[in-house]
Amino acid sequence: MFGLESKSPKILVIGDLMIDHYVWGSCERISPEAPVQVVDVKDENNRLGGACNVVHNLIALNAQVFVCGVVGNDEAGFWLGEKLESMGVDISYLFVDTSRPTTKKTRVIIANQQVLRVDRESKMPIDSHIHNNIVQHLHVVLDEVDCIIISDYGKGLLNDELTHFVIDYAKSKSKLVLCDPKGKDYSKYTGATLLTPNKKEAELATGITICDKDSLIKAGMALKTQCQLDISLITLSEDGIGIFDNNQIHIIPTRAKEVYDVTGAGDTVIAALSFALSSGCDIFQACEFANVAAAVVVGKVGSAVATHSEILQYIHTQPSNLQQYIESKIISQESLFTLLKDLKQSKIVFTNGCFDILHIGHLSYLNKARDLGDILIVGLNDDDSIKRLKGKERPINTLHNRALMLAGLECVDYVVSFCQDTPLELIKAIKPDVLVKGGDYHNKEVVGKEYAKEVVLIDFIEGHSTSNIIESIQRSKICKHS
């Protein structure tokens, strides 16, 4: 649907780097020393938090990520740097401040419920020497990237001077700047491409109580004017994302069906927005993409990320309307190969053909093919390959129309086109569990059979074919004119 699987924009994340430390345990008694629970620790681990979670989301989408931030000279800072580097993140702009600890939030969880949080952090401004070092060197990466994300958690890195420098320099180079803002005063974000406040944050920043559509529009337009934004938007939780312009609002509705945990959803939204905008999408397409990514994430427990495979699967399994559901089945080869990574446990059935005029013979054949596995993928000859195979008068229906007709069948899971005369390269890439061909292939060579685990031949219903239909129509025309 979005066609972003092959994109890999360069994105800089500058912000407050954190570790989310989780401690899981059980409690069967109260301490004799004080009226508190005694936790028997069963497991614990570290996860990327704060701006690092934005980085994690971008890596999941296959962006090239650079990170700028500050850690302490401690074990947590060492772990964080190693973790980011192991993921392929460029940490050349990761600075160590010996005067502060690495921000680490420890959450104690008993019976799936958080009972305590312990924060190790400093909210003091970063050391002036480190600040100057960042400003001195940051222009190098700002020149290289397509987009900058400012992920502000109010931990002392993004003071007014540094934030203004990043935005002003980036804008002078026509770079996108997306900010996840913090606090009441948004003046330091002036000139950014867009901000991603939620409704409550927008109220605090504008002083406008949002209670209806008119007040929401007023707040959205106030943000755009006050911060001189190219795009003004407000995230609306279960209602989606509101985009504001000319005293009007356009709401991109949410895609979430089941919400297990909203932790990190804001990080997913700004990461997905930056990825889509950097890849050439307009703001409406980018918000659609961000909403689907967020829907994937809130369906998981804990800070999570969304991959392209998960986004494609989500669109396919939980469409907002029938037309969108049908269109979601028509995918590019690249999207299909991405999707197949998450379908390894499914039995994949593949067949192919021209399917020029869909008829009962096709329907019977495809239903039988679908019964042979879990997922039916139909390879569809494009228009040029059909002309080469069938003659210049064919196809009767265009590739798009033929694909829509196939996708409208319940038995068909995905439709993917190919331009070669045979689907050999497609079969080689898919490596289906079952390769299905028509009964007329008895005693004939089946193209691609060496790449499938099994070949099954299905007999057609006698007398039903596209050629017969075309001949019948032509005879009817002749009779009419005679």
Residue-wise pLDDT tens digits, 36-82: 999 999 999 999 999 999 999 999 999 999 999 999 999 999 999 99
Q: pLDDT per residue over 199-244, tens digit each?
A: 999 999 999 999 999 999 999 999 999 999 999 999 998 888 999 9
Q: What is the mean pLDDT of residues 283-295?
A: 92
Q: Are 346 and 431 in contact (CB under 8 A)?
A: no
Query: Among the residues of 145-243, which ranges form H helices?
Result: 160-172, 199-206, 213-226
User: In this model, does residue 104 exceed pLDDT 90?
Assistant: yes
- Note the pLDDT of residue 258: 54
Q: Are 148 and 166 in contact (CB under 8 A)?
A: yes
Strands 17-30 and 37-50: antiparallel
**Given pLDDT bands bounded at 50, 70 and 90, which one contains residue 260?**
very low
For CA atoms 459, 462, 464, 470, give the dihedral sign.
positive
Q: pLDDT per residue over 353-398, tens digit each?
A: 999 888 888 999 999 999 999 899 999 999 999 999 989 888 989 9
Q: Are 286 and 176 in contact (CB under 8 A)?
A: no
- Note the pLDDT of residue 219: 96
Q: Going by C-beta distance under 8 Å and a sequence separation of 6 or more, which residues neighbour residue 285?
A: 2, 276
**Given pLDDT bands bounded at 50, 70 and 90, which one contains residue 333?**
very high
Catalytic residue among 146, 267, 356, 413: 267
Q: Going by C-beta distance under 8 Å and a sequence separation of 6 or more, which residues neighbour residue 451?
A: 427, 428, 430, 431, 432, 435
CB burial of residue 47 (10 Å; 0-12, 13-18, 19+): buried
- Note the pLDDT of residue 465: 66
d(CA 100, CA 73): 8
Q: What is the mean pLDDT of residues 291-319?
A: 80
Give 47's Cβ-side CA count (13 Å radius): 19
Q: Going by C-beta distance under 8 Å and a sequence separation of 6 or more, which residues neighbour residue 199?
A: 210, 216, 234, 235, 236, 237
The pTM assigned to this predicted structure is: 0.77
User: In this model, does residue 312 exceed pLDDT 90?
Assistant: no
Count of beta carbons in the 10 Å neighbourhood of residue 170: 24
Q: pLDDT per residue over 416-441, tens digit each?
A: 999 999 999 999 999 999 999 988 78
d(CA 42, CA 110): 10
- Note the pLDDT of residue 289: 94
- Note the pLDDT of residue 406: 95
Percentage of residues in the chain having pLDDT higher than 90 = 73
Secondary structure element (H or E) that encloses residue 405, with its range: helix 399-407
User: In this model, does residue 462 exceed pLDDT 60?
Assistant: yes
For CA atoms 138, 141, 147, 149, give the dihedral sign.
negative
User: In this model, does residue 301 exceed pLDDT 70?
Assistant: no
- Note the pLDDT of residue 441: 82
User: In this model, does residue 338 exceed pLDDT 60?
Assistant: yes
- Note the pLDDT of residue 109: 92
Distance of CA 39 to the CA centre of its chain: 37
Average pLDDT value over all residues in the chain: 90
Q: What is the mean pLDDT of residues 23-43?
A: 93
**Given pLDDT bands bounded at 50, 70 and 90, which one contains residue 474?**
low
Q: pLDDT per residue over 190-201, tens digit each?
A: 999 999 999 999
**Given pLDDT bands bounded at 50, 70 and 90, which one contains residue 328?**
confident
Q: pLDDT per residue over 127-141, tens digit each?
A: 899 999 999 999 899
Dihedrals φ, ψ of 170, to 5°? -60, -45
Minimum mean pLDDT range among 118-122, 256-260, 411-415 = 256-260
d(CA 138, CA 144): 10
d(CA 338, CA 24): 34
**Given pLDDT bands bounded at 50, 70 and 90, which one contains residue 479?**
low
Q: Are 449 and 455 in contact (CB under 8 A)?
A: yes
Catalytic: 356? no
Q: What is the mean pLDDT of residues 305-334?
A: 82
User: In the structure, how many helices (H) and strands (E) does the chain have?
Assistant: 16, 18
Exposed e or buried b per residue across 299-326, where buried means at least 16 C-beta atoms within 10 angstroms of its C-beta: beeebbbbbbbbbbbbbbebbeeeeebb
Q: Are 330 and 378 in contact (CB under 8 A)?
A: no
d(CA 173, CA 53): 27
d(CA 117, CA 468): 73
Structure tokens at 299: 């369906």
